[in-house]
Copies of this chain bind each other. A is one copy, B any other.
Amino acid sequence: MIVVMEKGATREQVDHMVERIESMGLKAHVIVGTERTVIAAIGEKRAEAKQSLESGSGVSEVVPILAPYKVASREVKKEPTQVVCRNLKIGGGAIGIIAGPCSVESEDQIIKTARAVKAAGAQGLRGGAFKPRTSPYSFQGMKEAGLKLLALAREETGLAVVTEVMAIEDVDLICKYADMLQVGARNMQNYRLLEAVGRVRLPVLLKRGPAATLEELLLAAEYILNEGNPNVILCERGIRTFENHTRFTLPLATVPWLHGKTHLPVVVDPSHGTGHTWLVPDMAAASIAAGADGLILEVHPDPENAMSDGYQSLRFDQFNDTMTKCRKVGEALGKKL
């Protein structure tokens, strides 16, 4: 941590900061520059120290040197983590594909979709039973009935079931039916929920919040890891920017950057990331080329009549083409889908 003093900071102010740094059990190292004095604080453990030093008199700013996340860091664990869940393998060289409708709507819908996505090469089935909706007047999901249909679809196809958990009180119920829990973008910093999913044995797919930095995403993962669940998959699904031709802006540099910083696998959601069906296939292929460990895609037998997200869902034939495209790109780069 580097404490930068203001120009003209007094000797007393510098001494005071040295004292404070030492009182935290850190070593202080004063460097007198031509215009400013800076103090290096050595041995830091926690981000807290930074905040506390920032309000010191005469302090201009405090620059952290160490990343605030620990367990998620590649510095702690060099080999990439592979999450395995039935036939779905994500990370460590394996690319996994999770596909399915935004919401589970009926037995017919989910079974048909499961069969179609499996035939096209997916290993995971997504489908929401508990739906976080922007408006209280929107369809809120089939709840347990939806979970049962997902389990039925798994029986039929062997696909791993991935479904969202919105509240702590639903965790146990959902664990009875699902193979992987999804924490949605809106709940990325719902820390109590993160702790709750950190205490179960199922892998967790953690979506990046639309205003979250990657450091915040890793710290959210850290809440889960810290409770003992090592199987966290990070998911880029787009951020909020000024762009209005897409629903969100999908920043694929997230993929190689995270691969450089963490051992956790990274998947991309081009459906939410673009918000328009016609942009999904190209962005799915681009995600694979960027090095993604998997994709999560919205697929629906009849998007026009979907109860949610129809405008960004692929029809079966479109999903098939998308898979073909992604497979080619993957193979060109020596990876199998």
Complex Cα gap A183–B71 (Å): 29
Whether the pair A242, B213 counts as a contact (CB closer than 8 A) is: yes
Whether the pair A55, B304 counts as a contact (CB closer than 8 A) is: yes
In chain A between 311 and 334, which residues have their CB closer than 8 angstroms to a CB of chain B? 311, 313, 325, 328-329, 331-333
- Which residues on B sit within 8 Å (CB–CB) of A142? none
Complex Cα gap A70–B81 (Å): 47
Counting CB contacts under 8 A, is A178 at the interface?
no
Whether the pair B306, A52 counts as a contact (CB closer than 8 A) is: yes
**Residue in B222, B313, B325, B333 whose beta carbon sits within 8 Å of that of A333 in the complex:** B325
With contacts A42-B31, A311-B55 taken as known, whether A260 is within 8 angstroms of B241 at the C-beta atoms is no
Whether the pair B313, A136 counts as a contact (CB closer than 8 A) is: no
Residue in B closest to A312 when the chains form the complex, CB atoms = B55
Counting CB contacts under 8 A, is A35 at the interface?
yes
Whether the pair A48, B305 counts as a contact (CB closer than 8 A) is: no
Residue in B closest to A36 when the chains form the complex, CB atoms = B65
Stretch at the interface among A87-95, A115-123, A275-283: A275-283
Whether the pair A42, B34 counts as a contact (CB closer than 8 A) is: yes
Whether the pair A136, B219 counts as a contact (CB closer than 8 A) is: yes
Complex Cα gap A27–B219 (Å): 36
With contacts A4-B65, A252-B250, A329-B332 taken as known, whether A192 is within 8 angstroms of B166 at the C-beta atoms is yes
Complex Cα gap A98–B287 (Å): 23
Whether the pair B214, A245 counts as a contact (CB closer than 8 A) is: yes
**Residue in B215, B256, B282 whose beta carbon sits within 8 Å of that of A289 in the complex:** B282
Counting CB contacts under 8 A, is A308 at the interface?
yes
Whether the pair A310, B256 counts as a contact (CB closer than 8 A) is: no
Complex Cα gap A186–B190 (Å): 7
Report how many copies the assembly holds. 4
Counting CB contacts under 8 A, is A288 at the interface?
yes
Complex Cα gap A30–B60 (Å): 22
Residue in B closest to A33 when the chains form the complex, CB atoms = B42
- Which residues on B sit within 8 Å (CB–CB) of A186? 189-191
Least Cβ–Cβ distance between A157 and chain B, in angstroms: 25
Residue in B closest to A215 when the chains form the complex, CB atoms = B245
Counting CB contacts under 8 A, is A202 at the interface?
no
Whether the pair A40, B40 counts as a contact (CB closer than 8 A) is: yes
**Residue in B56, B193, B249, B331 whose beta carbon sits within 8 Å of that of A249 in the complex:** B249
- Which residues on B sit within 8 Å (CB–CB) of A106? none
- Which residues on B sit within 8 Å (CB–CB) of A44? 34
Whether the pair B48, A213 counts as a contact (CB closer than 8 A) is: no
Q: Please list the 5 inter-chain residue pairs (A to B) with the smallest Cβ-Cβ separation, ordered nearest first.
A: A211-B211, A289-B289, A332-B332, A186-B189, A55-B310
Q: Could you write out 30 A-B pairs with CB less than 8 Å apart?
A: A7-B75, A20-B304, A33-B65, A36-B66, A47-B134, A48-B138, A51-B310, A52-B310, A55-B304, A68-B134, A69-B135, A132-B189, A132-B191, A136-B219, A136-B223, A168-B169, A169-B192, A209-B211, A211-B242, A239-B241, A241-B241, A241-B249, A246-B257, A250-B251, A252-B252, A283-B290, A286-B287, A289-B290, A289-B329, A328-B332
